[in-house]
């Protein structure tokens, strides 16, 4: 059974067509990276999968059920979303914020049950944020905040976790920490789909990579298959040298200028 | 924490009851508490009975409910627009109402005509602002804020022009725009209290959703909140409540801005707690302000807007400074 199936998806912002016939299917809980040049449609694809944007044509199915047949609340029980830009200007504690992840399971006047409190504690422990429970989110660092928002998405108990550039503004320590954290989630049966800017991080952490170009999936597959000189030149209009990461045995990329640049070895 | 919050609720509620009784008691004729109780129980002197039941009681009830309505709407608009400067008037309701009231005064309509005109023009104004801000199915909150400001400026200009052209009505118009409950009778209470009460309750139903919207509209939608629906309901009901409040009490500033802020400092940002607390606090605050408006320059009555701003402003500043010190101390 496929966890996520996208079938011939088209989307436009006004006249501008951004997604032009996207189709793919994932049947295992893997970590899937989406890379591509700015404006290639990565974020738009995520938002179409989550249902925030309504596709012009085509279908998205979760566990073989069309998302059109879900209510907004039902959908939130299957998809967790960690957006790119976050607002922090409010006084909620981290605990309150993570508890909001239980909204899809609560009726309007229902107060939080023991079950909800247990789940919130569990996901805050998984993301190592339980110690921040009484703190205001404003007091945390960028990486810590990101973990709180991941905890909230996990409190939704989703089958699919969508992330839009979750590490772009973080330092290297937090980048590794966050990506290791979400990679572990795939072992718990969650399909993680993340837009990433750093090709090398994508290569290191993702089981599969999509390269997007002009609203289409140009190529997909494991990092070794996808990250080739030709593909990267096509997608990003830049020439690169490709090495092998000695630890993960995945491709590691250096940009070069017209292929003539001498790599400066220190 | 929960126990402490119930104490705050109880204390504020007692304060409200006390303020209401005090306000019924004080004025040109002092009526002692014992006499008020007698009157409520069906006895008491004829003249005092008349003063309490047909003059002061409707006025006290109206000021409490208007205070409640404005505070509840203020709390929701601040959450929805994610802007601490938002108040019930931010979408142009006040200027719309003032425009209607100005026309009514110039045309020499009575109190009912005036209320009705203010109500209708304020709703038309909000509808206009809303229509401008809508693109497709989504409503841009930023556009709404800006459109509200632009409309307000435009309307104020027209009102000023009308005032200059109708100089004889100048002071009546100014007086109305600064608010007051001097003309309130049961006739207004009968229609305005149900609208404010029901409207506030309908908005309260969505307080958890507004919590989520506070952390970002897009995020809220992904948490299973139908943000567009919630926005529409809060904007429409909030405008109705505000228009009703304005039509009976004029444009009373500051209440809908500072009461939610003060309440937030006391009970925290969760709208499920904040909104009912703001309701009680707002009712208390405006009842007290109306009392002061009646007795400070006795026998002259001053517009209540002057009271809410002179007392509310400095108190709010004090709280801001205190909360700043508190966060620096951490």
Domain harbouring B303, CATH code: 1.10.3470.10
Q: Give the pLDDT confidence score for residue A193 in this predicted structure.
A: 96
Residues of B in contact with A74 (CB under 8 A): 224
First to last CA, chain B: 19
Please judge whether B270 and A92 are an interchain contact, meaning their C-beta atoms are less than 8 angstroms apart.
yes
Asked whether the beta carbons of A102 and A157 are under 8 A apart, the reply is no
Residues of A in contact with B264 (CB under 8 A): 91
**How many domains does one find in chain B?**
1
Would B328 be classed as within a structural domain? no
Nearest to A41 by CA among A166, A177, A211, A168: A211
Residues of B in contact with A52 (CB under 8 A): 218, 221-222
Higher pLDDT, B203 or B3: B203
Please judge whether B216 and A83 are an interchain contact, meaning their C-beta atoms are less than 8 angstroms apart.
yes
With residue A141 as reference, give the H or E element that holds it.
none
C-alpha span between B65 and B294 (Å, rounded)? 18
First to last CA, chain A: 51
| Cα distances (Å, whole numbers) of residue A40 to A43, A167, B44, B320 | 9, 19, 81, 46
Is B14 part of the contact surface with chain A (CB cutoff 8 Å)? no
C-alpha span between A46 and A35 (Å, rounded)? 12
pLDDT band per the 50, 70, 90 thresholds, residue B330: very low
Angle at A61 between CA A60 and CA A62, to 5 degrees: 130
Q: Among A87, A103, A156, whose Cβ lies nearest the Cβ of B216?
A: A87
Q: Coil, strand or helix: which one is B247?
A: helix
Q: Among B82, B216, B226, whose Cβ lies nearest the Cβ of A72?
A: B226
In the A/B pair of chains, how many CB contacts fall below 8 A? 70
Would B261 be classed as within a structural domain? yes
| pLDDT tens, N- to C-terminus, chain A (266 residues) | 899 999 999 999 888 899 999 999 999 999 999 999 998 999 999 999 998 899 999 999 999 999 889 999 999 999 999 988 777 777 899 999 999 999 999 988 888 899 999 999 999 999 999 999 999 888 888 888 889 999 999 999 999 999 999 888 888 988 999 899 999 999 999 999 999 999 999 999 999 999 999 999 999 999 999 999 999 999 998 888 888 888 888 899 888 765 555 555 55
Asked whether the beta carbons of B234 and B76 are under 8 A apart, the reply is yes
Model confidence pLDDT, tens digit, residues B140-155: 888 888 899 899 899 9
Please judge whether A81 and B224 are an interchain contact, meaning their C-beta atoms are less than 8 angstroms apart.
no
Q: Among B205, B215, B221, whose Cβ lies nearest the Cβ of A100?
A: B215
Q: Give the pLDDT confidence score for residue A45 in this predicted structure.
A: 95
Eight-class DSSP state of A131: G
Question: How far does A125 lie from chain B, in Å, by closest CA?
Answer: 21
Asked whether the beta carbons of A98 and A120 are under 8 A apart, the reply is yes
Backbone angles phi, psi at A46, to 5 degrees: -55, -45
- Angle between helix B271-295 and B207-214 (nearest 10): 100
Higher pLDDT, B327 or B27: B27
pLDDT band per the 50, 70, 90 thresholds, residue B230: very high
Q: Least CA distance to B270: which residue of chain A? A: A92
Q: Among A89, A103, A108, whose Cβ lies nearest the Cβ of B223?
A: A103
CATH class as words, domain A4-223: alpha beta
Alpha helices in B166-254 (DSSP H): 170-177, 186-204, 207-214, 217-222, 227-249
Residues of A in contact with B268 (CB under 8 A): 91
As to burial, measured by CB atoms within 10 angstroms (0-12 exposed, 13-18 middle, 19+ buried), residue A229 is middle
B178-207 burial by CB neighbour count: b if 16+ within 10 A, else e? Answer: bbbbebbeeebbeebbebbeebbebbbebb
Model confidence pLDDT, tens digit, residues B50-81: 888 888 999 999 999 999 999 999 999 998 88
Q: Among B221, B223, B264, whose Cβ lies nearest the Cβ of A100?
A: B223
- Angle between helix B57-80 and B255-267 (nearest 10): 70
Q: Give the pLDDT confidence score for residue A208 in this predicted structure.
A: 95
C-alpha span between B21 and A110 (Å, rounded)? 36
Eight-class DSSP state of B52: I
Question: How far does A80 lie from chain B, in Å, by closest CA?
Answer: 7
Please judge whether B223 and A76 are an interchain contact, meaning their C-beta atoms are less than 8 angstroms apart.
yes
Residues of B in contact with A92 (CB under 8 A): 211, 214-215, 269-270
How many Å separate Cα A225 from the centre of its chain? 21
Please judge whether B218 and A76 are an interchain contact, meaning their C-beta atoms are less than 8 angstroms apart.
no
Q: Coil, strand or helix: which one is A165?
A: coil
C-alpha span between B306 and B303 (Å, rounded)? 6
Is A155 part of the contact surface with chain B (CB cutoff 8 Å)? no
Q: Least CA distance to B271: which residue of chain A? A: A92
Nearest to B78 by CA among B196, B203, B223, B192: B203
Asked whether the beta carbons of A105 and A116 are under 8 A apart, the reply is yes
Q: Among A86, A90, A108, whose Cβ lies nearest the Cβ of B214?
A: A90
| Cα distances (Å, whole numbers) of residue B103 to A74, A114, B100 | 51, 58, 5
Query: What is the average pLDDT score of chain B?
Result: 89
State the residue range of the domain holding B104. Answer: 2-323
For chain A, helix, strand, coil in percent to 5 are 35, 30, 35
Q: Give the pLDDT confidence score for residue B253 in this predicted structure.
A: 86
Mutate to test the interface with B, among A15, A91, A117, A145 (most CBs of B within 10 A): A91
Nearest to B219 by CA among A32, A104, A39: A104
**How many CB atoms are closer than 10 A to CB A204?**
19
Is A24 part of the contact surface with chain B (CB cutoff 8 Å)? no
C-alpha span between B260 and B277 (Å, rounded)? 9
On the question of pLDDT at B39 being above 50, the answer is yes
Interfacial B residues in 179-208 facing A (CB < 8 Å): 205, 208
How many Å separate Cα B239 from the centre of its chain? 11
Is B314 part of the contact surface with chain A (CB cutoff 8 Å)? no
| Cα distances (Å, whole numbers) of residue A21 to A50, A59, A98 | 17, 10, 36
- Please report, for chain A, the start and end positions of each structural domain, with discontinuous segments joined by +: 4-223
DSSP, residue by residue, B269-328: S-HHHHHHHHHHHHHHHHHHHHHHHHHTTTTS---HHHHHHHHHHHHHHHHHHHHHHHHH
CA dihedral B34, B40, B42, B46 (to 10 degrees): 70
């Amino acid at each position: 059974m496929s966890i996520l199936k996208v079938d011939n998806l088209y989307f436009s912002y006004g006249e501008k067509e951004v997604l032009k016939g996207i189709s793919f299917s994932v049947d295992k809980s893997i970590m899937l990276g989406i890379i591509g040049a700015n404006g290639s449609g990565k974020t738009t694809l995520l938002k179409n999968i989550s249902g925030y944007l309504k596709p012009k044509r085509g279908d998205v199915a979760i566990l073989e059920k069309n998302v059109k047949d879900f209510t907004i609340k039902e959908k939130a029980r299957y998809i967790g979303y960690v957006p790119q830009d976050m607002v922090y200007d409010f006084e909620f504690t981290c605990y309150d914020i993570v508890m909001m992840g239980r909204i899809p399971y609560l009726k309007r006047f229902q107060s939080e049950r023991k079950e909800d409190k247990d789940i919130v504690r569990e996901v805050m422990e998984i993301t190592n944020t339980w110690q921040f429970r009484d703190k205001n989110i404003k007091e945390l660092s960028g990486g810590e905040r990101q973990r709180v928002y991941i905890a909230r998405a996990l409190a939704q108990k989703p089958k699919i976790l969508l992330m839009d550039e979750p590490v772009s503004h973080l330092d290297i320590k937090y980048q590794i920490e966050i990506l290791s954290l979400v990679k572990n989630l795939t072992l718990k049966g969650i399909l993680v789909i993340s837009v990433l800017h750093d090709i090398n991080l994508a290569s290191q952490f993702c089981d599969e990579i999509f390269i997007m170009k002009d609203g289409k999936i140009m190529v997909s597959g494991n990092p070794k298959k996808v990250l080739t000189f030709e593909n990267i030149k096509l997608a990003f209009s830049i020439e690169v040298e490709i090495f092998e990461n000695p630890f993960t045995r995945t491709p590691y990329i250096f940009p070069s200028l017209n292929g003539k640049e001498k790599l400066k070895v220190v | 924490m929960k126990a402490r919050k119930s104490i705050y609720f109880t204390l504020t509620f007692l304060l409200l009851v006390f303020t209401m009784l005090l306000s019924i008691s004080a004025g040109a004729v002092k009526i002692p508490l014992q006499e008020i109780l007698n009157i409520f129980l069906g006895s008491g002197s004829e003249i005092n009975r008349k003063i309490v039941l047909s003059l002061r009681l409707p006025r006290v009830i109206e000021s409490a409910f208007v205070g409640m309505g404005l505070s509840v709407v203020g709390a929701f608009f601040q959450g929805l627009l994610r802007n601490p400067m938002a108040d019930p008037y931010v979408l142009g309701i006040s200027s719309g109402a003032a425009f209607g009231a100005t026309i009514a005064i110039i045309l020499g309509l009575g109190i009912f005509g005036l209320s009705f005109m203010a109500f209708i023009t304020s709703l038309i104004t909000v509808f206009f602002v809303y229509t401008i801000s809508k693109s497709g199915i989504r409503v841009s909150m930023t556009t709404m804020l800006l459109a509200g400001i632009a409309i307000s400026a435009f309307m104020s200009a027209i009102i000023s022009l009308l005032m200059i052209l109708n100089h004889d009505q100048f002071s009546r118009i100014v007086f109305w725009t600064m608010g007051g409950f001097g003309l309130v009778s049961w006739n207004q209470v009968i229609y305005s209290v149900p609208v404010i009460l029901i409207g506030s309750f309908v908005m309260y139903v969505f307080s958890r959703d507004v919590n989520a919207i506070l952390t970002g509209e897009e995020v809220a939608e992904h948490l299973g909140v139908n943000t567009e629906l919630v926005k529409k309901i809060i904007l429409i009901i909030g405008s109705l409540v505000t228009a009703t409040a304005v039509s009976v009490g004029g444009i009373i500033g500051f209440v809908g801005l500072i009461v939610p802020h003060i309440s937030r400092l006391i009970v925290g940002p969760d709208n499920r707690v904040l909104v009912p607390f703001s309701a009680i606090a707002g009712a208390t605050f405006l009842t007290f302000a109306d009392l002061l408006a009646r007795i400070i320059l006795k026998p002259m009555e001053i517009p209540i807007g002057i009271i809410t701003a002179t007392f509310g402003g400095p108190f709010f500043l004090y709280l801001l400074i205190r909360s700043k010190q508190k966060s620096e101390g951490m």
